[in-house]
């Protein structure tokens, strides 16, 4: 009798686990992340003089992972909203380069610096540069939205075109120009809390909290899901579909601006040819792995955060295991395929 009860209990747990795994993306993503963290911890090793030494190394490793992926994490949050609205944005990496270039031109301490030539220096110059950069990113994102909604051009085509446009124009105007970033700008990302430089992580989590509230507690958040689920029904329900889509791309541009500010303040420069390259794929992968449906209408901020962490931990794990760099992209591809296949399975459950 006890043996039968035990078997029934085990079967009940197995069925519950399979159902949760198949129907709740956050659950399956969370379990996958836990497994990867265990593997990562094991790969880091335990050959240390003391537990304190091991814990510091483990913590420092995690801080570096989160810090290095905060920019992509911000972009992934915007990308998840775009995909939830049944769109796509391939221009995020190029937008980051354009905003970064504009930011550096504003705060440049050299003879070509815009603000210094206007007699504005120090903290006022930094604040003005940040506000102008955020507005510029919002404008570029909004431009994508206008071309899509008013021009009637598919999002893939529009953002593919602006991806080429933004980076090409930036490279043209910045060739031979090497702006000098003022030292006062660097603490934005490099200010130390204890032994760690955690500011990018704090920005990422704070913005994620704001977006979570927006997605769950505001009319706009519900409208994004409605538009992505069924655009025609949303329109008949009184939702201004074009306005919602335009705002989604504008918000993504704004988030890309934050990522650009973090990037420039972290390293004090920006590589206009390569900075942000591949970020669109990283952001899409993180959003989809986190449960955002490529067909629109489903996704969460928490799921996207978990998706970013899975990609980030996987990169770190493969580095610790000594996997050749060219093969690491193959693992990302396999994870992305698995996430999409899981989505198809969820629809049939």
- 158: which 2 tokens? 């529009």
pLDDT in tens, 92-149: 999 999 999 999 999 988 888 889 888 888 899 999 999 999 999 999 999 999 999 9
Rounded Cα distance between 93 and 105, Å, is 19
Rounded Cα distance between 120 and 35, Å, is 52
Q: Which residue has the tokens 């069924």?
A: 230
For residue 337, CA distances in Å to 22, 114, 185, 330, 334 come to 15, 46, 41, 11, 5
CB atoms within 10 A of CB 349: 8
Angle, vertex CA 171, rays to CA 144 and CA 140, nearest 5: 20
Residue 196 phi/psi, 5-degree rounding, is -115, 150
Give residue 349's pLDDT.
47
Element (H, E) at 342: helix 325-348
pLDDT at 27 over 60: yes
Q: Which residues pair with 196 in a beta bridge?
A: 193
Give residue 251's pLDDT.
96
pLDDT in tens, 11-21: 677 777 667 66
CA terminus-to-terminus distance, the chain: 33
pLDDT in tens, 268-319: 888 777 787 888 988 998 898 888 888 888 888 998 998 898 888 888 888 8
Nearest CA-CA partner of 170 in 273, 260, 258: 273
Q: Is 290 helix (H, G, I), strand (E, B) or coil?
A: coil
Q: Is 273 helix (H, G, I), strand (E, B) or coil?
A: coil
Using a 10 angstrom Cβ sphere, with 0-12 exposed, 13-18 middle and 19 or more buried, the burial of residue 134 is: buried
- 244: which 2 tokens? 């919602």
198, 63 contact by CB (below 8 A)? yes
Rounded Cα distance between 76 and 99, Å, is 17
**Which ranges of 218-324 does DSSP label H, i.e. alpha helix?**
219-229, 231-236, 241-267, 279-289, 301-320
Element (H, E) at 157: helix 155-174
The model's pTM: 0.88
Rounded Cα distance between 191 and 199, Å, is 7
Q: Which residues pair with 193 in a beta bridge?
A: 196
Check residues 196 and 344 and name the one with the higher pLDDT: 196
Q: State the average pLDDT over residues 75-90.
A: 94
Q: Which residue has the tokens 């537990």?
A: 51
Rounded Cα distance between 115 and 119, Å, is 6
Nearest CA-CA partner of 149 in 256, 247, 253: 247
């Amino acid at each position: 009798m006890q043996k039968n009860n035990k078997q029934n209990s085990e079967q009940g747990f197995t069925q519950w686990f399979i159902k949760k795994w198949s129907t709740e993306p956050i659950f399956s993503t969370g379990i996958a992340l836990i497994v990867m963290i265990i593997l990562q911890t094991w790969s880091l090793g335990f050959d240390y003089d003391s537990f304190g030494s091991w814990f510091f190394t483990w913590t420092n490793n995690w801080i570096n992972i989160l810090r290095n992926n905060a920019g992509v994490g911000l972009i992934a949050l915007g990308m998840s909203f775009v995909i939830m609205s049944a769109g796509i944005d391939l221009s995020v990496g190029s937008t980051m380069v354009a905003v970064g270039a504009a930011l550096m031109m504003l705060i440049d301490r050299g003879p070509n610096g815009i603000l210094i030539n206007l007699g504005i220096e120090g903290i006022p110059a930094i604040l003005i540069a940040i506000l102008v950069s955020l507005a510029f990113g919002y404008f570029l994102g909004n431009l994508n939205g206008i071309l899509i909604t008013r021009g009637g051009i598919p999002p893939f085509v529009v953002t593919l075109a602006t991806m080429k446009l933004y980076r090409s124009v930036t490279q043209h105007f910045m060739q031979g120009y090497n702006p000098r970033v003022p030292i006062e700008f660097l603490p934005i990302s490099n200010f130390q809390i204890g032994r760690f430089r955690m500011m990018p992580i704090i920005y990422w989590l704070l913005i994620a909290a704001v977006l979570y509230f927006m997605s769950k507690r505001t009319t706009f958040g519900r409208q994004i899901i409605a538009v992505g689920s069924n655009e025609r029904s949303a329109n008949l329900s009184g939702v201004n579909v074009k306005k919602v889509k335009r705002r989604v791309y504008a918000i993504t541009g704004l988030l890309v601006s934050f990522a650009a500010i973090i990037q420039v303040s972290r390293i004090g420069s920006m590589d206009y040819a390569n900075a942000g390259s591949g970020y669109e794929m990283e952001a899409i992968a993180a959003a989809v792995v986190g449960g955002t449906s490529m067909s629109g209408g489903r996704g969460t901020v928490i799921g996207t955060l978990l998706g970013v962490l899975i990609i980030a931990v996987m990169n770190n794990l493969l580095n610790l295991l000594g996997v050749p760099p060219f093969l690491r992209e193959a693992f990302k591809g396999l994870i992305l395929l698995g996430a999409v296949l899981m989505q198809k399975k969820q629809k049939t459950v």
